Copies of this chain bind each other. A is one copy, B any other.
Amino acid sequence: MILTVTLNTALDITYRVPRLTPHASHRVAEVTERPGGKGLNVARVLAALGRPVTVTGFAGGATGAALRDQLAEAGGVRDALLDVTGRTRRTVAVVDERTGDTTQLNEPGPLITPEEWSRLRGSYEELLPSAEAVALCGSLPPGVPVGAYAQLVRSARAAQVPVLLDTSGAPLRRGIAARPDVVKPNADELAELTGSHEPLRATRDARRRGAHTVVASLGADGLLAATPDGVWQAAPPAPVHGNPTGAGDSAVAALVAGLAEDSPWPRILARAVALSAATVLAPVAGEFDAAAYEDFLGRVAVTERASAA
């Protein structure tokens, strides 16, 4: 199975309103609710691709219970989340139906105790031997040490399980130094990490910081990957319009599946770009347009940019 880790899970709530007017009162026309946090989105995509997948991380309080109920109802994902005392955060996305724009309100995550963090590490080490690959995804809730991902990367490497890291800021900086197989920053995260806004230079710089492969997600320009085998750019066949939320999580799903299979990089990147683009066409994160995915798959252009630095 593939293991995804989501330390800061979320109950993702979407409100559709005819028009968002600050300081006014709104009747919400439609409410949707789903388990969230990057690693849970990645797991849902993997399950939809027919891959056995297990999720771990923290869930607590009434929102944690609702999240786990919904995960069980949806099926396809094995729940190995740990129960914690704090309450899992909610995120509220308010979609203005007039413009299609989204206003996002993110609650802070629950405070994790040292005992809970220690319990997570123990459970993670028990899951590792049966994992083909691991994805470590998203932000850290309060109480979890900033070097948390570095620890989880080292455990995966010690167990000889390929590991992908998708986070930002200090947890990325610390995690990358522990030499994960793949990191997948977006353009902003890459610039924050390296100080450079030039994607090729920044991607190579990120590799020198410790990751074996850096896959930068560049929005409409697709993915730029600096790997031990070369540097490739993979671009969608045509611009895709829709909801970009979750496109990065779908790319991670394809990348971690590729790590599990030990596929060649051009094939992995083509899948990741096709899956991302098919996700933009689907209305909600963690879902993709399966027909579009099949269609895009043969039409992604993967070009070698230069030899690896």
Closest B residue by C-beta to A93: B25
Instruction: Give which listed residue, B15, B28, B31, B62, contacts A62 with CB less than 8 A.
Output: B62
In the assembled complex, A96 has its CB within 8 A of some CB on chain B: yes
Q: Does A66 contact B (CB under 8 A)?
A: yes
A66 to B11, CA, bound (A): 15
Taking a contact as CB atoms closer than 8 A, the residue among B20, B31, B104 that contacts A108 in the complex is B31
A119 within 8 A of B: no
Within 8 A of B (CB), among A19-77: 20-28, 31, 62-63, 65-66, 69
B-side contacts of A20, CB under 8 Å: 22, 103
User: A99's closest neighbor in chain B, by CB?
Assistant: B23
Are B101 and A23 neighbours in the complex by a CB distance under 8 Å?
yes
Identify the closest chain B residue to A26 (Cβ): B105
A28, A101, A102, A108: residue with the most chain B Cβ atoms closer than 10 Å? A28
Q: Map CB proximity to B onto A133-151 as digits: 1 under 8 Å, 0 otherwise.
A: 0000000000000000000
Q: Which residues on B sit within 8 Å (CB–CB) of A62?
A: 62-63, 65-66, 69
Question: Which chain B residues lie closer than 8 Å to A108 at the CB level?
Answer: 27-28, 31
- Residue numbers in B under 8 Å from A102 (CB-CB): 23
Cα–Cα distance between A105 and B21 once the two chains are bound (Å): 10
A residues engaging B (CB < 8 A)? 15, 17, 20-28, 31, 62-63, 65-66, 69, 92, 94, 96, 99, 101-108
Whether B28 contacts A104 by the Cβ 8 Å rule is: no
Once bound together, how far apart are the Cα atoms of A105 and B31, in whole Å? 11
In the bound assembly, the distance between CA atoms of A94 and B31 in angstroms comes to: 17
- A107 partner, pick from B23, B31, B63, beta carbons under 8 A: B31
| B69 and A24 within 8 A (CB) | no
Determine the residue in chain B with the shortest Cβ distance to A30.
B108
Leading 4 A-B pairs by shortest Cβ distance: A25-B104, A23-B101, A62-B66, A28-B107
Chain B residue at smallest Cβ distance from A101: B23
Given contact pairs A94-B105, A107-B15, A22 touches B22 in the complex (Cβ within 8 A): yes
Q: Find out whether the CB atom of A17 lies under 8 angstroms from the CB atom of B105.
A: yes
Residues of B within 8 A of A92 (CB): 15, 92, 105
When distances are taken between beta carbons in the complex, the residues of chain B under 8 Å from A27 are: 106, 108
